[in-house]
Amino acid sequence: MGQVIVIGAGVIGLSAALAAQARGLCVTVIDREGPAAGASAGNAGAFAFTDILPLASPGILRKAPKWLLDPLGPLSVPPSYALQIAPWMYRFWRACSPRAVAHSTVAQTAMMDLSKAELEPFLATSGTLHMLEKRGNLQVYESAAELKASLPGWQARADHGIEFQHLTAAEMAGLQPGLSPQFTHGTFTPGWYSIADPKLYTLALADRFRAAGGEIRRAEVTALEADDAGVTVHCAGADALRADQVVVAAGAFSHRIARTLAEKIPLETERGYNTTLPSDAVDLRMQITFGGHGFVISRLSTGIRVGGAVELGGLALPPNYKRSEAMLKKAKAFLPGLNPAGGVQWMGFRPSLPDSLPAIGRARATARVIYAFGHGHLGLTQSAGTARLVADLLTDQTPAINITAFSPQRF
């Protein structure tokens, strides 16, 4: 039986660990903080399978200058981090060319299709199917011009058979009462799934992994060292571990581990913010996306979550919770019946690569190390699909889809 170490106990790492267990491998998970401690705990809880268009796109380039002028807006770069992130931003700009976007869209679509196909069987096997919800998503617009600007993206979805319906203000009110009249148009996507609570889901995966004989250790991995016989995993203040194969799924910290194998992968951190309000804060029927403002509002089993936006600020800067407050203030204006009291603020690190695609594949230095990180906003969405691909690689099977576009060496 092959010995595998998975570094990372977020939704990607634990999903991959369970998939590897199901293939008969003996798996240990190592995480610096334990299960569901990072972005897997505080995301919006959506399986956004209809989001086949990469974040790196001409549309974002058009909006970015205006957004960057607002330090609390949908996209910000703290001045103290601007120089450090400049090379990543240059790569992002290059990934926004029409040719690059077309390439990324094909890859993203294949990944979404796989992830959706794998999801319900994975939930059933992990005993978490009861946590899946299918309420749909409502994208709202403040003018006919804003809706018109979104139509090419909706056409791309239509070409792929994704169901949606454009709505008038009156039709939106029938689906989601209480929206501000400033939203004149909307688009409802019924095939938008969500999980009851992303933290509880990830912890449930950890419980299932342990119940199947897996071990989760808390330690900070400092380096990997590979040889012909296996991989040594060095940890701070703990004995080194050995395995036949290692999966690096440590989210925003993954590039630091890859660097110990002399591999530079341009992973950056989209710092996401949110506020989780009590469940009775507003009568929310489905997730609402305020795309022009870069945030969403979601109903979870544990409350109403208002969050999103992107702060490209790395791992070391302290949180700026004024961003959470700004989104909550807007949410109150957009849903006037919302009670903003009693919220809990959160900030987490989304691991993002410049072309909006994850890194899934073997390390350059050794085939015994597999990378699975960089999913940006789509970690939960693509977790079951990534788990399938990692399990295929661990067992030397042909991956379920072509993973060339996800090569960690593509940069």
What CATH number has the domain bearing residue 318?
3.30.9.10
240 and 379 inside one domain: yes
* Residue 293 sits in the same domain as residue 340: yes
Please check whether residue 391 is in contact with residue 16, taking contact to mean a CB–CB distance below 8 angstroms. yes
Stretch 323-341: mean pLDDT, rounded?
97
Is the pLDDT reported for residue 225 higher than 60? yes
Give the predicted TM-score (pTM) of the model: 0.96
Question: Is 24 part of a structural domain of the chain?
Answer: yes
One domain for residues 152 and 176: yes
Residues 139 and 80 in one domain: yes
Residue 11 has pLDDT above 80, yes or no: yes
pLDDT tens-place string over residues 48-57: 999 998 888 7
Domain membership of residue 243 as a residue range: 3-41+200-265+356-406
230-280 pLDDT, tens per residue? Answer: 999 999 988 999 999 999 999 999 999 999 999 999 999 999 999 999 999
Triad 27, 31, 32: Cα angle to 5°: 160
Cross-strand bridge partners of residue 271 = 311, 349
Do 97 and 180 reside in the same domain of the chain? Answer: yes
Q: What CATH number should be reported for the domain holding residue 397?
A: 3.50.50.60
- Tell me the two tokens of residue 165: 């319906």
Q: How confident is the model at residue 288 (pLDDT cuts 50, 70, 90)?
A: very high
Q: What is the pLDDT of residue 310?
A: 87
- 109 lies in some domain: no
Are 180 and 298 part of one and the same domain? yes
What's the pLDDT at 284?
97
pLDDT at 153: 92
**pLDDT confidence of residue 1:** 54
Q: Encoding tokens for residue 77?
A: 């770069």
94 and 170 within one domain: yes
Query: Are the C-beta atoms of residues 365 and 263 closer than 8 Å to each other?
Result: yes
Pair (88, 177) in one structural domain: yes
Residues, the chain, total?
411
Closest listed residue to residue 327, CA positions, set 365, 377, 277: 277
In the chain, the percentage of residues whose pLDDT exceeds 70 is: 100
Q: How many CB atoms lie within 10 A of CB 152?
A: 11
Q: Domain count of the chain? A: 2
Of the ranges 75-79, 319-323, 334-338, 353-357, which one carries the lowest mean pLDDT score? 75-79
Phi, psi of 273 (to 5 degrees): -125, 150
User: Is the same domain home to 64 and 154?
Assistant: yes
Q: Is the model's pLDDT at 9 over the cut of 80? A: yes
Query: What is the arithmetic mean of pLDDT over 7-34?
Result: 97
Q: How confident is the model over 218-235, as a mean pLDDT? A: 96
Mean pLDDT of the chain: 95
CA distances from 97 to 91, 387, 411 (A): 11, 30, 16
Asked if residue 68 and residue 210 are part of one domain, the reply reads: no
Residues 254, 271 within the same domain: no
**Same domain, residue pair 177 and 240:** no
Asked if residue 394 lies in contact with residue 247, where contact means CB atoms within 8 angstroms, the answer is yes
